């Protein structure tokens, strides 16, 4: 595959440096000088072992915490144009090593050195030039493939690039990922038929490479895919590497065809390297150890089985580690001259990396690609698009609210101004306000789904957290307006509340504010609790506490908790004393 980049159309008439995209239709590859070299030396990472809490341990003096070594003296390198694959059994340290290389582990707890072209990456620059694709495909099910990539482009590409160039970049990426036939198909989920598993995985990769990063890390990109889909995914990664990126991935038992696409392998066992080298030298290494790979066996699968067998004995696995430390595999000749990081980045940008309208890394090394209001606009647009395509959620909540309103209207029909009627009004207000909170539980699944997408997108500064919170608050204004109007209309005159139009507007605003507070509380809980069932429990329990302390049920008595009444969102502001 030739590392050829085609010029994109300048489009909007501005004479700026055009971005170039990878042409994956050319099957030849011309040799090119080494541009980026990622080196990692003596990486060691340990964590504290959580102690079991027993009665004797509580009374005893605190002992030194036991440490468990996850990575031990890991060294290696990866360069642009090649794929480095990390293999090993579950618990061997693959994902931890990937996190260490991607700067996702606190530097205080990680020993060793990770550098790009001899320089340690600062956090801000790392987020600009790095992409990390998680194992789970965290996507909005109602968006199409093209829309998903278009929103990613709006987040990660600078506003000055122009809409026309962003669209060209998205279309080029769709072709690069082999998604042209599925471009207008929704992602889908359990309830909606959408793209296939392999296509979903390629969309996930596309989201993170929309800005054409220098460093690309992937955790299990082929997990759960059939052999054909897995090969297509790795083939796309090969093309990305040959476009000038450093690709490092953790993978499980690659097939014969996938092995042919890999350039370097690292086998891990209990946090130690047992083999580091090219796939072609794996046969020689195993023969040197005295366990040659059978002629018709998959070399990586055989090696993983061998490692699992040797792990039963510490001495045997250590002998394999020692052989790797002393064994010198044949090395491919690389360019002896490595540019400085700044020079390499500027050269990479001039060739189309880090999609930007600038040609100097110092001018694009910003914390965020776009200003605050642009982020809010894009986030608001995405939220409204998702809302329009899930009318069943809106309809279910509206039906629930109307049903509750009609039941309250029947139960509290035309209350008078007698002492009994006043007490019954308090009951109506208590139930009406609490119903706005409890109805917010219906949105918890939506909020929890967005929670994981939010964490993935903000991990590399796709947008500010504040812009997400505010855009979400504005996106729910219209549906909450409809809910509040429907509930107020169904109950105000039927219950016999006074005040005419002014009283109705006042009642509407109170209900509107209660809906908004309940909605915001559900969002807050989804940010703290990652599980749906636990989220339901927390929302219902806390809402019940709010209602109990609101002042609707305890009047005319002193209470030790009376001071908390005014702090609850459901507070009636009724004095707790007569």
User: Would you state the pLDDT for residue 64?
Assistant: 66
C-alpha 363/C-alpha 354 separation (Å) is 12
Round the average pLDDT of the chain to a whole number and report it: 82
Query: Using an 8 Å Cβ cutoff, are 166 and 11 in contact?
Result: no
Please tell me the least confidently modeled range out of 92-96, 97-101, 346-350, 511-515: 346-350
Cβ-proximal residues to 491 (8 Å cutoff; 6+ apart), any chain: 405, 408, 409, 412, 428, 432, 497
Q: Report pLDDT digits (tens) over 120-164.
A: 988 888 888 899 998 888 899 999 999 999 999 999 888 888 889
Q: Report pLDDT digits (tens) over 249-280.
A: 999 889 889 999 999 999 999 899 999 999 99
Please tell me the least confidently modeled range out of 6-10, 211-215, 304-308, 532-536: 6-10
**What is the DSSP secondary structure assignment for residue 67, as one 8-state letter?**
E
Query: Using an 8 Å Cβ cutoff, are 116 and 38 in contact?
Result: yes
Given phi > 0 = left and psi -120 to 50 = alpha, else beta, which region is 414?
Answer: left
User: Would you state the pLDDT for residue 393?
Assistant: 85
Query: CA torsion, points 502, 505, 509, 510, in degrees to nearest 10?
Result: 60
Question: Residue 469: exposed, middle, or buried by beta-carbon count in 10 A (0-12, 13-18, 19+)?
Answer: middle
Q: pLDDT-based confidence at 106, cuts 50/70/90?
A: confident
Q: Report pLDDT digits (tens) over 328-387.
A: 655 554 545 788 888 888 888 887 777 765 555 665 556 788 899 999 999 999 999 999
C-alpha 361/C-alpha 369 separation (Å) is 13
Average pLDDT value for residue range 5-22: 40
Structure tokens at 231: 């090969």
User: Would you state the pLDDT for residue 252?
Assistant: 86
User: Would you state the pLDDT for residue 443?
Assistant: 74
User: Would you state the pLDDT for residue 564?
Assistant: 54
Please tell me the least confidently modeled range out of 19-23, 205-209, 218-222, 410-414: 19-23
User: Would you state the pLDDT for residue 31?
Assistant: 46
Nearest Cα neighbor of 471 from 382, 380, 371 is 380
Query: Using an 8 Å Cβ cutoff, are 266 and 275 in contact?
Result: yes
Average pLDDT value for residue range 314-321: 80
pLDDT at 562 over 80: no
pLDDT at 75 over 70: yes
Q: pLDDT-based confidence at 14, cuts 50/70/90?
A: very low
pLDDT at 557 over 60: no
What percent of the chain clears pLDDT 90, i.e. is strictly above it? Answer: 38
Given phi > 0 = left and psi -120 to 50 = alpha, else beta, which region is 500?
Answer: left
User: Would you state the pLDDT for residue 545?
Assistant: 76
Ordered structural domains, the chain, with CATH = 33-39+74-331+339-364 (3.40.50.300), 372-567 (no CATH)
User: Would you state the pLDDT for residue 19?
Assistant: 42
Strands 110-116 and 272-277: unpaired
């Amino acid at each position: 595959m030739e590392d050829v980049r085609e010029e994109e159309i300048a489009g909007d008439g501005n004479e700026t440096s055009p971005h170039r995209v990878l042409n994956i239709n050319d099957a030849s590859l011309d040799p090119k000088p080494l541009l980026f070299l990622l080196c990692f030396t003596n990486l060691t990472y340990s964590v504290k072992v959580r102690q079991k809490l027993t009665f004797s341990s509580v009374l005893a003096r605190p002992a030194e915490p036991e440490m468990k070594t996850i990575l031990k003296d890991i060294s290696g390198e990866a360069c642009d144009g090649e794929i480095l694959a990390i293999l090993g059994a579950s618990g061997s340290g693959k994902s931890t090593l990937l996190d260490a290389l991607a700067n996702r582990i606190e530097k205080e707890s990680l020993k060793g050195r990770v550098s790009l072209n001899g320089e340690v990456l600062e956090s801000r620059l790392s987020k600009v030039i790095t992409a990390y694709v998680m194992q789970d495909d965290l996507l909005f099910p109602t968006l199409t493939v093209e829309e998903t990539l278009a929103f990613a482009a709006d987040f990660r590409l600078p506003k000055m690039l122009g809409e026309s160039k962003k669209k060209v970049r998205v279309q080029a990426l769709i072709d690069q990922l082999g998604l042209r036939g599925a471009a207008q198909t929704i992602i889908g989920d359990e309830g909606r038929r959408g793209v296939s598993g392999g296509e979903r995985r390629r969309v996930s990769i596309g989201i993170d490479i929309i800005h054409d990063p220098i460093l690309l890390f992937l955790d299990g990109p082929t997990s759960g895919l059939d052999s054909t889909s897995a090969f297509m995914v790795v083939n796309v990664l090969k093309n990305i590497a040959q476009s000038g990126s450093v690709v490092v991935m953790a993978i499980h038992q690659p097939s014969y065809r996938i092995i042919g696409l890999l350039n370097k392998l690292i086998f891990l066992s209990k946090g130690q390297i047992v083999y580091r080298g090219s796939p072609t030298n794996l046969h020689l290494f195993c023969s040197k150890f005295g366990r040659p790979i059978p002629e018709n066996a998959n070399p990586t699968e055989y090696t993983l089985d061998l490692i699992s067998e040797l792990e039963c004995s510490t001495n045997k696995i250590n002998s394999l580690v020692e052989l790797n430390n002393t064994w010198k595999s044949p090395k491919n000749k690389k360019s002896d001259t490595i540019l400085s990081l700044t020079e390499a980045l500027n050269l990479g940008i001039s060739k189309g990396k880090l999609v930007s309208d600038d040609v100097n890394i110092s001018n694009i090394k910003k914390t965020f690609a776009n200003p605050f209001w642009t982020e809010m606009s894009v986030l608001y647009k995405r939220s409204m698009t998702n809302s329009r395509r899930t009318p069943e959620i809106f309809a279910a909540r509206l039906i629930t609210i109307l049903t509750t309103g009609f039941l309250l209207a029947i139960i509290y029909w035309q209350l008078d101004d007698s002492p009994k009627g006043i007490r019954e009004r308090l009951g109506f207000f208590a139930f009406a306000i609490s119903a706005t909170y409890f109805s917010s539980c219906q949105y918890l699944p939506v909020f929890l789904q967005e929670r994981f997408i939010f964490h993935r997108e903000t991990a590399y500064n796709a947008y500010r957290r504040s812009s997400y919170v505010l855009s979400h608050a504005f996106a729910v204004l219209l549906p909450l307006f409809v809910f509040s109007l429907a509930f107020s209309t169904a109950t105000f005159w039927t219950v016999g509340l006074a005040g005419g139009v002014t009283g109705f507007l006042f009642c509407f605003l109170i209900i509107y504010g209660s809906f908004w507070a309940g909605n915001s509380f559900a969002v807050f809980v989804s940010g703290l609790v990652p599980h749906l069932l636990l989220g339901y429990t927390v929302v219902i329990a806390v809402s019940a506490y709010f209602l109990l302390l609101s002042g609707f049920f305890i009047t005319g008595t002193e209470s030790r908790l009376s001071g908390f009444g005014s702090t609850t969102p459901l507070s009636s502001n009724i004095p707790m004393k007569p």
